[in-house]
Amino acid sequence: MGRGGATKDRGDGPDRKCIATGAVQPKDGLIRFVAGPEGEVVPDILGRLPGRGLYVSADREAIATAVKKGLFSRSAKRALKADETLPDEVERQLARRVVELISLQRKAGKAVAGYEKVKSWLQMEEAQVLIQASDGSGRGKSKLSTPHFGTFIGWLTADELGLAFGRQTVIHGALASGGLTQRVVEEARRLRGVRGNEGGKGHPEG
């Protein structure tokens, strides 16, 4: 998300090359990794850790390939330890990040939960993003549609949404535009790739 020249690694240039696929793409579609103090590969979800960044597409298979083929070590030109559970750790950290961002939007008055409140926001065209739990009832979820020109997020669980909204579980949520909403959308897209696109299929877009 940085701006300016592309000379610094923690940079500021928007595009990076995936060490697993070789594809060059914007950083918001990649996961940054750095070498830890003991030579372990550490996910840098926020992009703030010191050291040279190693980038992998926000895709479970790409991360697993980087681990299995020793691509972190090859790219860093030094021995690095990458555990096979790395994709799971990245997923866990991304999910936590998305939950934290939604929670901040809730505290700022830019997020609501519950069928009736979400329905009201959609009718008033207040909602920019519709969020529905991946493990919620398909019949219940089908009664609400993604805002026109808006975004649908459907791969967080009811428990995860509950954490975001300060409840035990949540099935329906909505975000207004502005604030951190765009960040929520960006981080949720990365999570979708690492999580395996769960819950995002077959939803009405109208």
Task: Tell me the backbone φ, ψ of residue 67, rounded to 5 degrees.
Answer: -70, -50
pLDDT reported for residue 197: 56
Q: Mean pLDDT throughout 110-114?
A: 98
Q: Mean pLDDT throughout 140-145?
A: 92
Question: Are 70 and 100 members of one domain?
Answer: no
Question: Are 110 and 74 members of one domain?
Answer: no
Say what percent of the chain tops pLDDT 90.
Answer: 85
Q: Which of 24, 52, 84 is the last residue of a domain?
A: 84
Mean pLDDT of the chain: 90
pLDDT reported for residue 140: 85
DSSP count for the chain of H helices, then E strands: 7, 9
pLDDT reported for residue 13: 57
Number of domains in the chain: 2
Question: Are 65 and 163 members of one domain?
Answer: no
* CA 157 to mean position of chain CA atoms: 13
Question: Are 107 and 74 members of one domain?
Answer: no
Summarize pLDDT for 82-100 with one digit per residue, the tens. Answer: 999 999 999 999 999 999 9
| Residue 117 confidence (pLDDT) above 70 | yes
The model's confidence at residue 204, banded by pLDDT at 50, 70 and 90, is: very low
Q: What is the pTM of this model?
A: 0.87
Host domain of residue 33 = 15-84
Residue 1 located in a structural domain: no
Q: Mean pLDDT throughout 145-167?
A: 97
Whether residue 108 contacts residue 179, with contact meaning beta carbons closer than 8 Å, is answered with yes
Question: Are 134 and 157 members of one domain?
Answer: yes
